[in-house]
Structure formats: structure tokens, C-alpha cells
Amino acid sequence: MSPRRNHPKRSKRAGRNPGTGEEDEISRSFSTIEEHEEGFYTVRKITGSTSTKPYRCPGCDQLIPTATPHIVAWPHDDVDDRRHWHTKCWEKKDHRRPNVQRTRNAPKF
């Protein structure tokens, strides 16, 4: 009886054309295309295990800590304009009012 194999067999195809660069990684990942007021966006869901850096959400201007599931979205034709969003901030993107920047002691009216 041969010993049990605990790792998957290597595919012959995997060694032929290895992915190079971040753009190839993006194209192979699961992503969807969504239509919003500004146009079409490519959207990818990131799991907590693949999130290795903190990011700032453009929707709420708060920090997305490491190991937090979130969304990466970019205009369909511009991969360089990727932004990391909280999932809820992305869902409410089209219904959000413009954020007014105020000084610390300014009145809220």
C-alpha cells in the first residue's frame, strides 16, 4: 500500500503560463460588472484571509483594518483607479449625499 498523498497533483498546464503581475491576478479572480450612476464598475469581493493591508474607504473615510472582508471596485476600463470599500458603503454608494468637511468645532447646521 502506498502512502497517502496530502497535496494535490501538479497540473501540467500550471507550469506553462504562470501569472505575472497584479493585472493578471485581477483578471483571473472572480469579479462582476455593475452599473452605477457614474458608469460601469468592475467589483471584486475580498475575503478576510486575503486582506493583508489596511485601506481607507472612500465612502466613509474610515480605515478598513487588515483581515476584514471588503469590496474592491474600479471603473470598468481603468484598473489603476481601484478603491477598497466597506461592503455596506459600496451598497449605499449611489444613495449617499456629498460629504461636507467641517472643522472640529463648526456647527452641524
Domain boundaries, the chain: 28-95
Residue 57 pLDDT > 60, yes or no?
yes
What confidence score (pLDDT) does residue 17 get?
47
* Whether 33 contacts 40, CB under 8 Å: yes
What confidence score (pLDDT) does residue 50 get?
86
**Mean pLDDT across the chain, nearest whole number?**
78
Average pLDDT over residues 58-79: 91
Pick 23 or 31 by higher pLDDT.
31
pTM score of the predicted model? 0.62
For 1-19, write each residue's pLDDT tens digit: 666 767 666 655 544 444 4
What confidence score (pLDDT) does residue 11 get?
56
* Whether 62 contacts 86, CB under 8 Å: yes
- Between CA 52 and CA 7 the distance in angstroms is 25
Question: Predicted confidence band at 98 (pLDDT cuts at 50, 70, 90)?
Answer: low
